[in-house]
Amino acid sequence: MSGTLDGQGSTPGSTPTTVTQCNESSDFRAAFNAAQLAMAVVGRDGLVRSANHALGELLGTDPAGLADAPAADFTGLREDARTWSAYREVLLGRRDRLHCTRRLKQRGGRQGVWAEVIVTPLPDSCDALLSVADISDRRDLRARLRHLRMHDPVTRLPNRSLFFERLTAALAAPGRGTGRAAGRGAVTGRIGLLYLDLDGFKAINDTLGHRAGDRLLGAVAKRLAECAAPGGHLVARLGGDEFALLVEESTGTQQLVDLATRVQSRIQQPFDMAGQRLAVSASIGVVERPAAGTHATELMQAADTTLYWAKADGKARWTLFDPERNAHRMTRQALSSTLRPAVERDEFVLQYQPLVGLGDGVVRGVEALVRWRHPQFGTLAPNRFIGLAEETGAIVPLGRWVLATACRQARRWQLAHPREPIVVSVNVAVRQVWDSDLVADVAAILTETGLPPSLLQLELTESAVMGSAGRPLQQLQQLSDMGVAIAIDDFGTGYSNLAYLSRLPVSTLKLDGSFVRGFRSEEPPNPADETIVEALVQLAHRLGIKVTAECVESAEQAERLGRIGCDTGQGWFYSRPVPADSISALLSTGVRP
C-alpha cells in the first residue's frame, strides 16, 4: 500500500488529507478574521455566508449579524442597474471581477463611508469574496484637488472648465437639471446664458495695478453670486474680466432679461476698494433657447456674438440674441472671407449707367458699377460688399480689376464710335489711394488698353477728397496732369469745404440724390432746394467745374435741373445700370436713353 488512507492510519512519511484540509481551512479562517481589509464571503444567492471583524467595524455592526443579509444592500450595489447586473454575473460565475466605488449604508439606513468594492469568485467554490476598502480620505483629497482645479483662485467662482462641464451636462440631459437649479420649479427643457464683460476694467488694471484689479474682480464676483443666488444659477469666471451666468430650466427670455437688468444695475453701483470708489459697468450678451438640439460651442458662439453687439452698440447695456442679425453677420463673414478669391475666380461683372447731357439728351459718358455674381447669394449690389472690401483690403485688387475692365470696354466703344467718344467713370475707394500706387496702376492700364486719358474719369467720395493732403493730393494732381478727369461723388453729404475746391484738381461735382429729390413733380416745390442747387452750380462753373445730378427719375426733374445749369444727369429716368452690350446698342442706334 502506498500513500492511501485505510481508516487506521497512513503511510509513513505522509500527511493525512483530512488534517491538511482542516489546517488550511483553519488558517484561512484565522487570516479572514484578522485581516484589516473588510471582507465577506457571499453565496451565489447574494447572501452573506460570513463577514470578518473589519467589515463589522466599517459598517458599525456585529459581523455575525450580517450573516444571511443581502450584501448588495449595505454596499449599494443594487442602486445602479449596470453595477447590479455585473455583480450578478460575478456571483453566477460568468464574470471574473467587479470593481466599483459605492457609498456604504450603515445600521438604520444611514449613509456610510465611500468605499472601493471588489467582488471575485472563490476558486473551487460557488461563493465569492467581497472586499470593501474605505477610500473616504482619498476621495476627499481628490474632491479638494478637483475643487482647486475647477475654481478660479481670484474670485473663488467656478472656472471655465467647470462651467463647460455643467453646461454640457445641462444640454445633454435637458429636463433633469445638473446643479443647484435641479428640482426647483417646472421642467422647461430650456436653457439661458448671460455672458458679460466689464467695461473700463483695463483702465483700472493699468492705472491702479493688477492687485487692485483682482480685488475688484472679487467684489464683482460677490455681487454676481448675490444676483444668481435666488434662482440657484451657476456663476463662473471664464477668464480676464469675463463672467457667465448659466440658467438651467429657463422659463423664457423675460427671466434672462430680468436677471441681466438686475446684474447690470448691481454692477453699476460704485465699489469701495480700500478707500477708493471705483465705477465700472457691464456689457451683457443674453441667449435663451431650447436645450434640446443645442451644442455648448454653438451656445457660446451666440453668447459671444451678442456680447460683441452690446459692446458695439455703446457698452453698459444688455443685448438679446437676434437670429436675423446673426444671419446677416454670418453672411458678412462669408462674403468677407471669399472676396479676394472671388476676384481670381472672375465672379464680378460690370454694368454701366449713362451720363446724359441735360441740354441735348446726348450720352456723354457712363459710370461703371460692379456687381458680384455670388455662387450662393446670387447677384449682389455694391452696397453689400464694397464696405467689406475696404475693411479687408480686398478693394485694392477688386478696384484694379474694375478699372482695367472698364477701360478695356471704353476702348472698344471708342474704336466702334470714334466720332462720339464717351467717358467711362470709375469709382475709387480711399484705400486704393493709400494702399496702392494708383497713379502707376492707371498709367499701366491706359497703356495696356490704349484708352486716351481724357476718356477716363475717377470718382472719389467727398469725405475722401475734402481735406486731402500729402500723398492722396499728390496722386490726384498727378492723375489730373496725366489728363484723367477727377469727380467728387455724392457731393453735399460729407464735409463740404467749398473754398478747398479751388485747390483740388477736380473737373466734376456729382450732386447727391438728396438734392435732386426735392425736384420731384409729385412733391410741392421747395424754393430752398432750387436756390441751393443753383448756387452750387454757379460756384462750380466759376471754378471751371462741371456738375452732374444723380438720381434723376422724371422728365420734370431733368428739365428743372437743366434749366438751373446742371451739365449732365444720371438716374433711372434715363436708364438703370445695364450690361455693356446694351450701351453698345444704344450708341449704335443713336437713340437717346
Parallel/antiparallel/unpaired status of strands 111-121 and 128-134: antiparallel
Cα 41 from Cα 129, distance rounded (Å): 5
Cell of 179: 446643479
- Tell the residue number behind the cell numbers 485747390, with chain if given: 503
Cα 197 from Cα 259, distance rounded (Å): 15
Q: Which residues contact 562 (CB under 8 A, 6 or more apart)?
A: 358, 359, 569
183: left (phi over 0), alpha (psi -120 to 50) or beta: left
Cα 577 from Cα 574, distance rounded (Å): 10
In a 10 Å sphere around its CB, with 0-12 CB exposed, 13-18 middle and 19+ buried, how is residue 75 labelled?
buried
3-state secondary structure of 124: coil
**Prediction pTM value:** 0.59
577: left (phi over 0), alpha (psi -120 to 50) or beta: beta
pLDDT of 112 reads 76
pLDDT of 592 reads 63
3-state helix, strand, coil in the chain (%, to 5): 45, 25, 30
Tens-level pLDDT at each residue, the chain (593 residues): 333 333 334 444 444 444 444 555 666 677 788 788 999 999 999 999 999 999 998 888 899 989 999 999 999 999 889 999 999 999 999 999 999 999 898 766 567 789 999 999 998 888 999 999 998 888 888 888 988 889 999 999 999 999 999 999 999 865 545 544 444 557 889 999 999 999 989 888 888 888 889 999 999 999 999 999 999 999 999 999 999 999 999 999 999 999 999 999 999 999 988 778 888 999 999 999 999 989 999 999 999 999 999 999 999 999 999 888 888 888 888 888 899 999 999 999 999 999 999 988 899 999 999 999 999 888 999 988 998 999 889 999 999 999 999 999 999 999 999 988 899 999 998 888 888 889 999 999 999 999 999 999 999 886 666 555 556 778 889 999 999 999 998 887 655 556 667 778 899 999 888 877 777 655 566 677 788 889 889 989 998 999 999 999 988 889 989 999 999 999 999 999 999 999 998 887 765 66
pLDDT of 35 reads 84
Q: Give the closest residue to 385 by CA, choosing from 457, 325, 441, 337.
A: 337
E strand spans, 397-464: 423-427, 456-461
In angstroms, what CA-CA distances link 482 with 146, 296, 485, 486, 540?
74, 60, 9, 11, 22
User: On the CB side of 194, how many CA atoms lie within 13 Å of its CA?
Assistant: 33
Cα 221 from Cα 414, distance rounded (Å): 72
pLDDT of 183 reads 46
pLDDT of 13 reads 45
Cβ neighbours, 10 Å, residue 147: 12
Q: Give the closest residue to 350 by CA, choosing from 439, 433, 424.
A: 424
pLDDT of 522 reads 56
Instruction: List, in sequence order, every residue forming a beta bridge with 195; answer none if it has no partner.
Output: 244, 285
Parallel/antiparallel/unpaired status of strands 456-461 and 423-427: parallel
